[in-house]
Structure 1
Amino acid sequence: MSVTPLRALSIEQLRQRSSTKWRTYAPDILPLFVAETDFPLAEPITDALRRAVELGDTGYTPPDPGIRDAYAAFAQRRFGWTVDPARVRTTCDVMMGVVELLRRVTAPGDRVIVTPPVYPPFYDCIPEAGAVVERVPLSPTGTGWELDLPGIEAALAGGARAVLLCNPHNPTGTTHSRESLAALADLANRFGAAVISDEIHAPLVQPGVTFTPFLAASETAAEVGYAVTSASKAYNLAGLKCALMITAGDEPARVVRELPDEVEWRTGLFGALAGVAAFSPQSDAWLDGLLAALDQNRRLLGGLLAEHVPGARYRIPDAGFLAWVDLGDLGWGDNPAARILREAQVALHFGPHFGDEGKGHVRINIGCSPQVLREAIERIGALDAP
Structure 2
Amino acid sequence: MTVTPLDALPLEVLRRRSSTKWRSYGPDVIPMFVAETDFPLAPAITDALREAVEIGDTGYTPPRPEIGSAFVSFAHRHWGWRVDPARVRWTGDVMMGVVEILRATVAPGERVVITPPVYPPFFDTVREAGAVVEEVPLVDDGSGWFLDLPGIDAALSGGARAVLLCNPHNPTGTVHSREQLAQLATIAARHGAVVVSDEIHGPLAHADHPFTPFLSVSDDAADVGFAVTSASKAYNLAGLKCAVMVAASEANAAVLRQLPWEVEWRTGLFGALSNIAAFSGDSDAWLASLRARLDVNRTLLAELLAQHLPLARYRPPQAGFLAWIDVSAYKWGDDPAVAVRRNARVALHHGPYFGPQGRGHVRMNFGCGPDILREAVERIAAFARSGSRL
TM range (shorter): over 0.9
Per-residue displacement from partner, 1:219-275 (whole Å, max 9, x unpaired)? 100000000000000000000000000000122111011111111111111000000
Q: What corresponds to 2:336 in structure 1?
A: 336
**Partners of 2:208 and 2:187 in 1: how far apart?**
29
Gaps of 5+ in 2: none
**Partners of 1:207 and 1:78 in 2: how far apart?**
11
**Partners of 2:130 and 2:302 in 1: how far apart?**
41
**Displacement, 1:379?**
0.4
Per-residue displacement from partner, 1:191-230 (whole Å, max 9, x unpaired)? 1110000000000011232211000011100000000000
**Partners of 2:17 and 2:130 in 1: how far apart?**
36
Secondary structure of 1:38's partner? coil
Secondary structure of 1:90's partner? strand
**Partners of 1:261 and 1:383 in 2: how far apart?**
52
Q: What corresponds to 1:208 in structure 2?
A: 208
Give the aligned length: 386
**Partners of 1:79 and 1:9 in 2: how far apart?**
30
The answer to whether 1:250 aligns with 2:250 is yes
Identity of aligned residues (%): 67
Q: What corresponds to 1:189 in structure 2?
A: 189
Q: State the Cα RMSD in Å.
A: 0.7
Secondary structure of 2:357's partner? helix
Per-residue displacement from partner, 1:48-80 (whole Å, max 9, x unpaired)? 000001111111111111111111010000111
Q: What corresponds to 1:314 in structure 2?
A: 314
Q: Which amino acid aligns with 2:373?
A: L
The answer to whether 1:52 aligns with 2:52 is yes
Q: What corresponds to 2:62 in structure 1?
A: 62
**Displacement, 1:329?**
1.4
**Displacement, 1:341?**
0.3
Q: Which amino acid aligns with 1:18?
A: S
Q: 1:212-361 maps to which residues of 2 (within 5 A)? A: 212-361=212-361
Q: Which amino acid aligns with 1:358?
A: G
TM-score normalised by the chain length of structure 2 = 0.98
Per-residue displacement from partner, 1:9-63 (whole Å, max 9, x unpaired)? 0110000000000000000000000000000000000000000011111111111
CA contact (8 A) 2:335 2:352 kept: yes
Q: What corresponds to 2:15 in structure 1?
A: 15
Secondary structure of 1:163's partner? strand
Q: What corresponds to 1:42 in structure 2?
A: 42
Q: What corresponds to 1:77 in structure 2?
A: 77
**Partners of 2:161 and 2:366 in 1: how far apart?**
36
CA contact (8 A) 2:99 2:129 kept: yes
Secondary structure of 1:325's partner? strand
TM-score normalised by the chain length of structure 1 = 0.99
Gaps of 5+ in 1: none
Q: Which moved more, 1:23-32 or 1:135-144?
A: 135-144
State the 4+ residue runs in structure 1 displaced beyond 2 angstroms: none
Q: What corresponds to 2:124 in structure 1?
A: 124
CA contact (8 A) 2:113 2:160 kept: yes
Per-residue displacement from partner, 1:152-194 (whole Å, max 9, x unpaired)? 0110011000000000000000010111111111111111110
